[in-house]
Amino acid sequence: MENEIISFIDYSFSYQNSGHWALENINLNIKRDEIVVIVGPTGCGKSTLLRSINGLIPHMFQGDTKGSVTVDNLRVQENPVSEMSKRVGLVFQNPENQIFMFTVERDIAFGLENTGVPRLEMQKRVDDVIESLGIGHLRYKPPYELSDGEKHRVAIAGVLAMQPDILVLDEPTSLLDPRSAIDLMKTIERLHKKFGMTILIVEHRLEFSAVIANRIVVMNKGKIVSAGPVREILAAEVPFRLGVGIPPITRLHMALKNGGIEMGQIPITPKEFMQNNREKLHD
Amino acid sequence: MLGWIREAFLFTSSNSPLRKLDPRIRVLLTIELFTLSALPNVFVMAAIPLAIVLMLGLIGNVFSKLLKAMIFAGIFSIIIGAIDFYVNTDPIRAIGVSVRFLGIIGSFSIFFLTTSPDELGSVMKRFRFPRDIIFAFLTAMRFVPVLLLDISQIIDAQRSRGLEIQKGNIVGRVNKLFPLVVPMVSLVLERSNHLAEAMESRAYGSVKQVSAFKELRFRPVDRIFLAISTPLMVLAFYFVLKF
Amino acid sequence: MISFQSVGFVFQNGTRGLNDVTLEIGEGITAIIGANGAGKTTLIKHMNGLLVPKRGNVFVNGQNTKDATIAQLSRMVGILFQNSERQLFSDTVGDEISYGLRNFGFRDDQVEAKVDEVLSIFDLSDYRDKSPLTLSGGEKKLVCLAVVLAWEPDFLVLDEPTIGQDRINKERIESLVRFLASKRKGIIIISHDVEFLWNLQPRVIAMSNGSILADGKASHIFSNKRIIHKTRIVMPQLLELSTLLETVSNPFSSRDQAVNYLTGLMNKSS
C-alpha cells in the first residue's frame, strides 16, 4: 500500500533482561498526512512504540525483536537512527533535555551539523523553520531564558530542521498550562497543513489533542486494543474502562444516549455538542 | 553566593561591543591581561592591567557585573594579601599581590561575560579539540544552571520532610547527605539518558565530516582592534617588566 | 489556619514574588490557579518556612513562620512539590516513609504503626519492602503522598499533583483529597487541570503577577472570562456547556442547577 508511511507487521519487542514483551504483536498502519493520537494507561508501551519508529529501538536499546517496522519504505531494523532521523522527527516529553546549545538558532542547526548539511543550506533551513514556528524573536536567546511553551517550540524546530515527513511527539502538553497546550496543538496543525506531515502524538490529555486528530489508537499492556476515528473510539466502553481520560462532554453524550435519548454526532467539545444537537435543543 | 558567581561569570544575551570581536581576539586579550596581571612585582604596575580590565568592562557594557565579580574576588584577594603580608612582612608587596589577583580574576570575568559557550566551542574547534570533548564541555556548562535548580528542589523537598542540615555531629551530618546525594545522582542519570536519546535522534555521531553553522572569520574590526591594542600591550609589558 | 498578612516577597535577583498578599486558609479544599510565574509556588513555600516574607507575616496555626524552623512548620504543613518523585532515595518504601517520621521525632514503635497505617490507606501494603526507585511513575506519586501523610499534618499542599498521571491515578488522588477534607484537614492544590479541580468544587484563589486576582467559589471563578484569560486555563467542559445552554431554551433555573444535573448525568455512564 503506497499510502502507508508507517507499517508495523506482527511487531513485538522485549527490552534486554526484562522477561516480558513491552510490545506484543503490533499491527498498525499509519497513512501519509494522518494525525494519530496514541493513548493508554501508563506502562502500556506507548513510549516503546514511538522509539521503534525512529530506530532508537532496536539500535540504542537492545532487546529481542519479532516482526518488522517499515517507515517510508525503510526497514527500521536495517537502518541506523541517523538515516531514520531524516524521515522521523521524535520530540520527547521534556524539552529541557533536548536543547543542547546556548542559542536557539545554534541548537536548531544541531541535527544539520551532525549530518554534514552544507552551511548555506543549513542557514536557509534554520531561517525557514524559525519562521514556520514563529520564534524569530528567540533566535539568539539561551535556553534558560525561554518559557516552557517556547522551549517546546524550539525542540520541535530542532527536529523539523531535518525535514522529516513524520513528526512524533511524546506527551507534548503534559508540562504546559491549558492555553499553551491549545497553542501548541494549533501550531502542530499549522505545520501539518503547511508541510503535509504525518503526525503521531502520545497523550493523556485528550481534550486538546483529540481536536486536531483523525484517528485514535488505544493501547494496553503492550498491545493495541482498538483503533479508529477519534469520536467513535472516545465514545466506546473499552478506553474508558482502561483509564483513558475521556472528555466530560463525550461522557455526557454517552450517558444521554444510554438513557435512550437520540443524539447527534459524538462531540469532544461543548461547542460541538451544541452544534450537533441544534434541533433537539430548540424543542 | 551562588547567585553572585552566576552573575559574575555567566554569559547573557546582552549587547556588548566586545562581542563584535572574533572570540579568538578575546582569548588573546584575556591571556595578555592575565599575564600582565601575574607578572608585576610592584603594585603600581599591577594596577595597570586592572585599570585596563575595568575600562574594558565599561566599554563592554558589562561593568556592573564585572564589579560584582571584583567585589567577590576582593574578599579573596584581601585574604591572599594578608597571607602574603604574614609571610613576607612587606605591606607594599602584599597589596601588590592582592591587586594582581584582582586583575587575574577580572581578565577571566571579562571573557566569560562577553563570550557565549558556543563561541568558546568554536575557538576550541579551531584549535583542533576533538568534537566529543567540545560537546561534553559545552553540555556540562549548559546544564550547570539546570542542575543547580535540581539540587535546590531536592533540598527543599527533603527539608519539607524534616531534614535539618545544620544540626548534628560530623557522622550524623554525613548521613544527612544521603537523601540529597541519591536523588541527585539518579536525576543526573535520568537527564543523561534523555540527552543521549535526543542526541541520537538528531543523528549525533553519524558522520565524521560534520559541517559548521558558524565559521570564525576575522573581520576588519578585529584587525583594527589588533592594530591598536598590540602596540599598547607591548608598551604595557615593557613598563611592567622594566620595574 | 494558615494566615497571610500583607505579605510581600522579592527574590534575590530583584523579581517580585508576592505583592501584598492577604488571605486565610482553613480546613477544606482550596485550589490555587495562575499562569507560570504568577507566584503560586512562591506562595506555598511561605507556608512551611522555605521562604519568609520580606514584608508582612505568615502565621501557621498561630505560629509566625519567621520564628520557627522549616522542620517545625512542615510538621503542620506537608508540601508535595512538582516532581516529588525525585526525593525518593531509600532502600524500601517502608524506610522512605519512616524517614520523615523519624525526623519529626516519632519513636520507633510509633513509626512502625504509622507506616502500617498509611500503607493500608493507600492500598500499598504489598509494596512495603519494594525499592521505591523501581516503581512506576504513578506508584511513586502515591508513595510520595503516603510519605507526607504519615505524620498527619494539618495541611496538605499539592503542587500540580496530576501532571503525567492517567485517569485512574487521578481518581485515586481525588478520593484521597475528599477523604482528607472529610477529616477536616486543609488541602491546598496548585493545578491547571481544570477538570480535576472542577470535580472537587474547591474554593479557588486566582493569582497573577504575585497578587491575588480573585478568591471564591469554583463556579464563579471558572465562569469569569477575564480570570480564565489571565490564568491561562480553560473553562471546565460541563460548566461551558451550561453557559452555552443559557443561550437557547434553557430548562434549568440556574447555572449551578444545570451543572449539577449534567454532572450527575455524566457520572451515570460509568
Q: What pLDDT score does C218 carry?
A: 93
Q: What pLDDT score does B198 carry?
A: 95
In terms of domains, do C98 and C82 share one?
A: yes
Q: What is the pLDDT of residues A54-77, one digit of tens each?
A: 999 999 999 999 999 999 999 999
Cross-strand pairs, B141 = none
> Do the bridges between strand C155-159 and strand C186-190 make them parallel or antiparallel, or are there none, so unpaired?
parallel
CA–CA distances in Å: residue A109 to residues A94, B200, C117, C208, C237 = 19, 15, 55, 36, 41
Cα distance from N-terminal residue to C-terminal residue, chain A:
48
What residues in chain B have their Cβ under 8 A from chain A's Cβ atoms? 11-13, 116-118, 135, 138-139, 142, 145-146, 191, 194-207, 209-215
In terms of domains, do C168 and C38 share one?
A: yes
Chain mean pLDDT for chain C: 90
User: Residue C59 and residue C47: Cα distance in Å, rounded?
Assistant: 8
Going residue by residue through chain B (243 aa), what tens digit of pLDDT does each one get?
A: 556 666 666 666 566 677 777 778 778 877 877 777 777 666 666 677 777 777 777 776 777 777 777 777 778 888 888 888 888 777 777 777 788 888 788 788 778 777 878 888 888 888 888 889 999 988 988 888 899 889 999 999 999 998 887 666 666 667 778 889 999 998 999 999 999 999 999 999 888 888 888 887 778 878 888 888 888 878 877 777 776
Contact assessment for residue C119 and residue C128, using Cβ atoms and an 8 Å cutoff: yes
In terms of domains, do C224 and C244 share one?
A: no
Contact assessment for residue C62 and residue C113, using Cβ atoms and an 8 Å cutoff: no
Q: Is the Cβ pair A41, C163 closer than 8 Å? A: no
Q: What pLDDT score does B38 carry?
A: 75
Neighbouring C-beta atoms of residue C225, cutoff 10 Å = 9
Q: Which residue in the set B13, B202, B209 is minimally distant from A110, CB to CB? A: B202
Q: Which residue in the set A103, A115, A119 is minimally distant from B116, CB to CB? A: A103
C121 closest CA partner among C102, C94, C149: C149
Number of domains in chain C: 2
Q: What mean pLDDT is predicted for residues A241-250? A: 86
Q: Which residue in the set A59, A116, A162 is minimally distant from B207, CB to CB? A: A116
CB of B82 less than 8 A from some CB of C: no
**Nearest CA distance, B146 vs chain C (angstrom):** 14
Cross-strand pairs, A202 = A38, A170
**Backbone torsions φ then ψ of A67, nearest 5 degrees:** 75, -160
Q: Is the Cβ pair C241, A274 closer than 8 Å? A: yes
Give ipTM to 2 decimals. 0.88
In terms of domains, do C89 and C205 share one?
A: yes
Mutate to test the interface with A, among B199, B202, B209 (most CBs of A within 10 A): B202
| C159 contacts in chain A (CB < 8 Å) | none
| C104 contacts in chain B (CB < 8 Å) | 162
User: Residue C87 and residue A274: Cα distance in Å, rounded?
Assistant: 46
Q: What is the pLDDT of residues A69-115, one digit of tens each?
A: 999 999 999 999 999 999 999 999 999 999 999 889 999 999 999 99
User: Residue A157 and residue B86: Cα distance in Å, rounded?
Assistant: 59
Q: Cell 444516549: give the residue.
A: A257
Residue C174: which residues within 8 A CB-CB, separation 6 or more? C196, C199, C200
> Which has more confidence, A276 or A32?
A32
In terms of domains, do C75 and C41 share one?
A: yes
Q: Is the Cβ pair A178, C192 closer than 8 Å? A: yes
Q: Which of B2-11, C14-23, C211-220 has the highest mean pLDDT?
A: C211-220
> Which has more confidence, A39 or B242?
A39
In terms of domains, do C17 and C107 share one?
A: yes
Q: What pLDDT score does B128 carry?
A: 86
In terms of domains, do C14 and C84 share one?
A: yes
Q: What pLDDT score does A126 carry?
A: 95
What CATH number is given to the structural domain containing C27?
3.40.50.300
Q: Is the Cβ pair A81, B200 closer than 8 Å? A: yes
Contact assessment for residue C204 and residue C216, using Cβ atoms and an 8 Å cutoff: yes
Residue C237 reports pLDDT greater than 80: yes
* Least reliable range by pLDDT among A234-238, B71-75, C42-46: B71-75
In terms of domains, do C20 and C141 share one?
A: yes
Contact assessment for residue B51 and residue B148, using Cβ atoms and an 8 Å cutoff: no
In terms of domains, do C230 and C262 share one?
A: no
Neighbours of chain B (3+ CB pairs under 8 A): A, C
User: Residue C250 and residue C255: Cα distance in Å, rounded?
Assistant: 10
**Nearest CA distance, C191 vs chain A (angstrom):** 9
The DSSP line for A31-60 is: ETT-EEEEE-STTSSHHHHHHHHHSIIIII
Q: Which residue in the set C12, C88, C100 is minimally distant from B162, CB to CB? A: C100
Q: What pLDDT score does B14 carry?
A: 62
User: Residue A121 and residue C28: Cα distance in Å, rounded?
Assistant: 60
In terms of domains, do C216 and C92 share one?
A: yes
Contact pairs from chain B to chain C, CB under 8 Å: 58
Q: Which residue in the set A59, A60, A103 is minimally distant from B118, CB to CB? A: A103
Q: Is the Cβ pair B214, A110 closer than 8 Å? A: no
**Residues spanned by the domain of C250:** 236-270
**Nearest CA distance, A205 vs chain B (angstrom):** 22
Distance of CA A64 to the CA centre of its chain: 25
In terms of domains, do C155 and C196 share one?
A: yes
**Backbone torsions φ then ψ of A69, nearest 5 degrees:** -125, 125
User: Residue B189 and residue A206: Cα distance in Å, rounded?
Assistant: 31
Put residue C49 in one of left, alpha, beta given phi > 0 → left and psi -120 to 50 → alpha. left
User: Residue A243 and residue A185: Cα distance in Å, rounded?
Assistant: 23
In terms of domains, do C168 and C263 share one?
A: no
